[in-house]
Each structure stands twice: as C-alpha cells, then as structure tokens.
Amino acid sequence: MREMNTEARAAERETAGAAVWLHGAVQLRKAFRLGPLNLEAPVGCVTAIVGPNGSGKSSTFRLLLGLTAADEGEIRLLGERVGDGLDDTELKRRMAYVPEEDSKIEASLRGTSQAEFVSAWYPAWNQGEFERLLREFEVEPSKRLGKMSKGMRRKFELALALAREPELLLLDEPSSGLDPLSWRKLVGELHRYMERGRHTILMATHILDEVKRLADYIAIMADGRIIGVYEKDELLSSWHRFYVGPGLGGAVSEGDVADLPGLVRAEESGGGTCRVVTSRAWEAEGWCRERGLPITGQRALELDEIMEQLIRQAR
Ligand SMILES: Nc1ncnc2c1ncn2[C@@H]1O[C@H](COP(=O)(O)OP(=O)(O)OP(=O)(O)O)[C@@H](O)[C@H]1O
C-alpha cells in the first residue's frame, strides 16, 4: 500500500471530488502572466473554460499537462500532483488530451499505425469503441495523418482519445474545423462518454452552443486569470434584462432602480421606462413587485452577453 504523510492525506481530502485542482498556480512569462489560477473541476462533470483570444486557455492546458512549469502554486489531476519533474507516467495513462493544434511530428504515420502505438500504451484501450467512433465520424484510418483534412484529423484524434476510456478528458477547442454534422455527432459522443462512467471533461471552447449543450460548470478566463467558475444553469437563469416602468408614480429613472438587487447597469430607455441588467433576476423581480414598478419586458441574457459583463466587472 502507498505510504502517505499527514500533509499528503490532507491534500488528498481537500482535492477529493475534483478531477482537476489548481491552487494559486502562476506562470510568469516575459509578456504574459498566467494566474493565479484557482479551479476545481468536479469528477463526473463537464467544465468549460471560455474566454477571449489570448486569455490563457491553451496555456492553462499546457500547465496542467506539465508541458510547461508553474512558478508558483499547486496542480493536481485525479488527486495526483503534477509538475516539479514528478513522474506522471501512470497518471497520463488515466487521461487523454486533445490539443488545439494537431502534432506535425506524426504527419507521416498512417492512422492505423498511430492507433496501434497508442493502444499498446493505454491499459483501458477499447478497440471496438475506436472502430465504432471511426465509422460514426466517417474517418478512413489507413490515410497518413498529414494527408487527412483538418476536420478529419481532428475526428481521428478525438476517436483516439475517447477509445482510451480516460477518467479525465482534456479538450482544447475540440470542434475546431468540424462541419455542423460532425459537430453534432461529437456532442453526442461526448454525452455518451460522460454517461459511461465516472468520467470528467475539462474543455476550452469558443462555441457557446457547445457550452450550453455540454457544460455543467463554466470557468470564465480573461487576462490570464480565471475570473469566476459558475454552475451553468444558475448562471444562465440569473442574468436578465428588464424594462421597468412607468409605474404609478410616473416615469422610472436610473436613480429609482439604483438599489435593484444584482444591478449591473441601468439606462433610461424612453417612454418613462428604464432598461436594466441584473445578475439576480429572481430577487430583482420581487424587488420591483414590492415597489409597484411594472416589468414591461424581460429576457434572459445570452452567455456571450453575460461573459462580456463579467469580464468588464473583473477588469
Ligand atoms: N508559445 C508561446 N510563447 C510565448 N507566449 C505565448 C505562447 N503561446 C501563447 N502565448 C501568449 O500567451 C498568452 C495566452 O495565450 P493562449 O494561447 O494561452 O490563449 P487562449 O486563451 O488559448 O487563446 P485562443 O482563444 O486564441 O486560443 C497570449 O498573450 C499569447 O500571446
């Protein structure tokens, strides 16, 4: 049995339930500071990292994979510490990573040879599942990887990752280059993977529909930092735009809604109404009702609008 000191036990307790655990991770570069990053991606859930170009999503993946080193902080994957030159061979066998850019090194290999190599390395490799995925994605594995189209190569890499039956799947822009039909199939396959066991996905994506369909949690990144981690349904249901007024007391001004719960912005919008954005829709509704302020129009904000507001607040 593995010997553990008190500190290791405490860390294990703390990270139990988190497949990806980042605590105060910082990487300093000449022109960019990544972190401090704090993130707990729960086991059995899909966590999507979203954020503008250059916010640090791919850099975070490289840090998690130990491809680059953290200058500060601690990183654990599936409860195991990564970095500091630690031997992560066994850990890597329990996970799969599909990077944003396909490797050029393997371009001359045929898909079949690459699969043979990978299957020998991963104990949970499922050949039947691999062949099913290739059929589903309509990928011809006898082609050389460098001769596959961008979308085809991506589907090959995704099939290769899923067939390993990893406990943890790290995906950087998984649907980059996929046509709409392939994209729908991928979303279906990722759902299937999540249903098949105690699996976890951490993915970076720009496709908001992908986030809506797949994610349980959303981590928003901006300027090298994770500015917040949110439960998706809660986030999407709590941000609303209201039109308030006019009330019995006449026109509603910005000042009248200054204490509205979760108020993010308010502007007079003509006809005695005020347009407000709130991050606490239920409470804001009740607040208006109590004050006899009629809500004459209302809609939930889209994820991109919420992200824009949260990033603005964080800067
Ligand atoms: N190999 C590298 N060497 C030095 N700086 C890099 C390197 N790759 C990225 N950067 C810089 O690190 C920062 C974060 O980039 P990163 O690729 O992690 O962002 P991202 O959120 O994944 O962006 P995108 O949405 O465009 O994929 C940027 O300022 C970028 O210019």
Same domain, 53 and 188: yes
8 lies in a domain? no
How far is the centre of ligand 1, averaged over its atoms, from the C-alpha of 195 (Å)?
A: 33
Q: What residue's CA is closest to ligand 1, atom 16?
A: 56
Long-range contacts at 125-131 (CB < 8 A, ≥ 24 apart): 125/163, 125/164, 125/165, 126/163, 126/164, 126/165, 127/163, 129/162, 129/163, 129/165, 130/159, 130/160, 130/162, 130/163
Same domain, 174 and 306: no
| 308 phi, psi to nearest 5 deg | -60, -45
| Ligand 1 and 89: CB distance under 6 A | no
| Ligand 1 and 153: CB distance under 6 A | no
If you count them, how many residues does the chain have? Answer: 315
Same domain, 171 and 256: no
4 lies in a domain? no
| 203 phi, psi to nearest 5 deg | -135, 145
From 179, 205, 234, give the residue that closes a domain: 234
From 208, 234, 260, give the residue that closes a domain: 234
Same domain, 173 and 278: no
Q: Which among 26, 28, 34, 58 is the best mutation to test ligand 1's pocket, defined by most ligand atoms within 8 Å of the CB?
A: 58
Phi-psi category of residue 6: left, alpha or beta, with phi > 0 → left and psi -120 to 50 → alpha: alpha
Same domain, 215 and 258: no
| Ligand 1 and 58: CB distance under 6 A | yes
From 201, 234, 267, give the residue that closes a domain: 234
- What pLDDT sits at residue 106? 81
How far is the centre of ligand 1, averaged over its atoms, from the C-alpha of 224 (Å)?
A: 9
The per-residue pLDDT for range 289-299, each reduced to its tens digit, is 999 999 999 99
- What pLDDT sits at residue 7? 59
- What pLDDT sits at residue 21? 95
Alpha carbons 57 and 206: distance in angstroms, whole number = 11
| Ligand 1 and 54: CB distance under 6 A | yes
* Alpha-helical regions (H) of 107-173: 111-121, 127-137, 150-162
The per-residue pLDDT for range 226-264, each reduced to its tens digit, is 999 999 999 999 999 999 988 888 999 999 999 999 999
- What pLDDT sits at residue 1? 38
Whether 168 contacts 94, CB under 8 Å: yes
Same domain, 229 and 245: no
How far is the centre of ligand 1, averaged over its atoms, from the C-alpha of 47 (Å)?
A: 20
| Ligand 1 and 176: CB distance under 6 A | no
| Ligand 1 and 55: CB distance under 6 A | yes
220 lies in a domain? yes
Tally of structural domains, the chain: 2
Same domain, 71 and 195: yes
1 lies in a domain? no
| Ligand 1 and 28: CB distance under 6 A | no
11 lies in a domain? no
Q: What residue's CA is closest to ligand 1, atom 24?
A: 53
How far is the centre of ligand 1, averaged over its atoms, from the C-alpha of 59 (Å)?
A: 6
Same domain, 217 and 309: no
Cα 264 to the center of its chain, rounded Å: 24
Same domain, 127 and 181: yes
How far is the centre of ligand 1, averaged over its atoms, from the C-alpha of 58 (Å)?
A: 7
253 lies in a domain? yes
Stretches where the chain sits below pLDDT 50 are 1-3
61 lies in a domain? yes
Domain housing 293: 239-314
| Ligand 1 and 205: CB distance under 6 A | no
pTM of the model: 0.91
Q: Which among 55, 62, 172 is the best mutation to test ligand 1's pocket, defined by most ligand atoms within 8 Å of the CB?
A: 55
Same domain, 256 and 285: yes
- The CATH number covering residue 44 comes to 3.40.50.300
- The CATH number covering residue 297 comes to 3.30.70
Same domain, 86 and 229: yes
27 lies in a domain? yes
How far is the centre of ligand 1, averaged over its atoms, from the C-alpha of 33 (Å)?
A: 11
How far is the centre of ligand 1, averaged over its atoms, from the C-alpha of 171 (Å)?
A: 16
**7's tokens:** 């500190």
E strands, 133-238, where?
Answer: 168-172, 200-204, 217-222, 225-231
How far is the centre of ligand 1, averaged over its atoms, from the C-alpha of 205 (Å)?
A: 14
Same domain, 212 and 144: yes
Q: What residue's CA is closest to ligand 1, atom 17?
A: 58
- What pLDDT sits at residue 101? 85
